[in-house]
Amino acid sequence: MTLARLDADGSRGVPELRYLARGADGGHTVLACLPPPGGDPTRWAAEAQQAARLTQPGFWPVGELGGTPAFPWYSSPYRPALPLPAVLAAYGGPLPEPLIRTLGGTLAEALASAHVLGIVHGGVCPAGVLLTACGPLLSCFGATRANPLAESTAAQATRLETGCLAPELAAGGPVDRAGDVYALGAVLAYAATGYTVPEWQEIPVGLRDIVMACRSRDPQGRPEPARVLAELLPGAAYGGLAGGTEPVSLPGRVVEALSRQSAEVLASALPSQGR
C-alpha cells in the first residue's frame, strides 16, 4: 500500500519512482522503488540485482526484489530520509559549508570503499543522495562493475539533464571511477549553490578548488575520492564516516522535515481503530 511519494511532484533528475509504502504483511514500512517512466525495466532490474550485492557502508541498501520482467520493483526497510533537493527546500536554500563538507566527505568515503572493490556507482546525482539523521547515503545505484555493462540510456539522459554526466561519458565512453568523481563534484556544487553547474564565483571560496577539480573535463585531472575526503575534512579518519550510526549535526529545519516525514509515515502506517 502506497503511503506517499518520496520525491516532490515535478522533481527533476530522479532516475526511478520512489514511494514510502506499507509492506505486504501490513506490519512494515518500506521505501519501494520502480523503474522510471520510459526506462528499460529489464536493465533497471539487472542494475537493482547488482546493487543488492553492494553492501558497503554509505549506500542505501537494496532489499527485497520482486515483480515481473515487465514490472520489477525493489523495497528497503524505511528510515526517515530526504533526497538532497528536499533538504535544500527544507533549509530554504544552499546548505552551510560545514554540512557540505561532512556530506561530501561521507559520500567520497563511500565511493572510495566501492572503487577499491572495482565497483562504480554510475548514478551519483543530487536526487540519489538521501540524507538521514546519521548522514547521507547513496542510492539510485546504476551501480555496475567497472568492466561490464554500459550505463543505461535512461540513466545517461537523466544525468546529462542534471549536469552530473561527465563529458567523456556523454561522448560514449565507459562508466568509470572518474565519472563518479565528476558527479560528486556536481552534488557538492548543488549543495553549495542550488545548481549542479554554477558559475565559478557562485561556489563558496572554501569549496571552489575541490569542486572545480572534481568537475575537470580531463578525467585524469580529477582527484581520487580519498583525496576529496582529505580536502573536505582534513584530519578525518578514513572509515569513520560512511554508514555511521551516530546522529550528525543538521540544521533545525532539516531535522524538523525529517521528523515530520517520520510522524506522517507512522500515522499512515498505524492500523485503523477497530481493525
Q: Is residue 156 part of a domain?
A: yes
Instruction: Please count the structural domains in the chain.
Output: 2
Of the ranges 17-21, 88-92, 261-265, the best mean pLDDT one: 88-92
Answer yes or no: are the C-beta atoms of 34 and 73 closer than 8 Å.
Answer: yes
Return d(Cα 217, Cα 239) in angstroms, integer: 29
Over residues 195-221, the pLDDT tens digits come to: 999 999 999 999 999 999 999 999 999
One domain for residues 102 and 224: yes
Q: Exposure string (b/e) for 77-108, b if CB count within 10 Å is 16 or more?
A: ebebbbbbbbbbbbbeebbeeebbbbbbbbbb
> Which range of residues forms the domain containing residue 30?
2-80+252-269
**Same domain, residue pair 104 and 41:** no
Burial class (CB in 10 A: 0-12, 13-18, 19+), 10: exposed
The model's confidence at residue 52, banded by pLDDT at 50, 70 and 90, is confident
C-alpha cell at 186: 556536481
Q: What's the predicted TM-score (pTM) here?
A: 0.89
Mean pLDDT of 167-180: 88
Q: How confident is the model at residue 192 (pLDDT cuts 50, 70, 90)?
A: very high
Mean model confidence pLDDT for the chain = 86
CATH number, domain containing residue 259: 3.30.200.20
Q: Considering the domain boundaries, does residue 239 fall inside one?
A: no
Question: Which span out of 27-31, 206-210, 238-242 was modeled with the highest average pLDDT?
Answer: 206-210
Closest CA to 37 of 124, 169, 158: 158
Residues in CB range of 143: below 8 A, 6 or more apart: 47, 50, 51, 54, 59, 114, 119, 120, 121, 122, 123
HSE value, Cβ hemisphere, 13 Å, CA-based, for 116:
11
Q: At which residue does the C-alpha cell 514510502 appear?
A: 20
20, 97: one domain: no
Sequence letter at residue 85: P
DSSP assignments along 210-256, one per residue: HHHHHT-SSGGGSPPHHHHHHHHSTTPPTTSSTT--SPPP--HHHHH
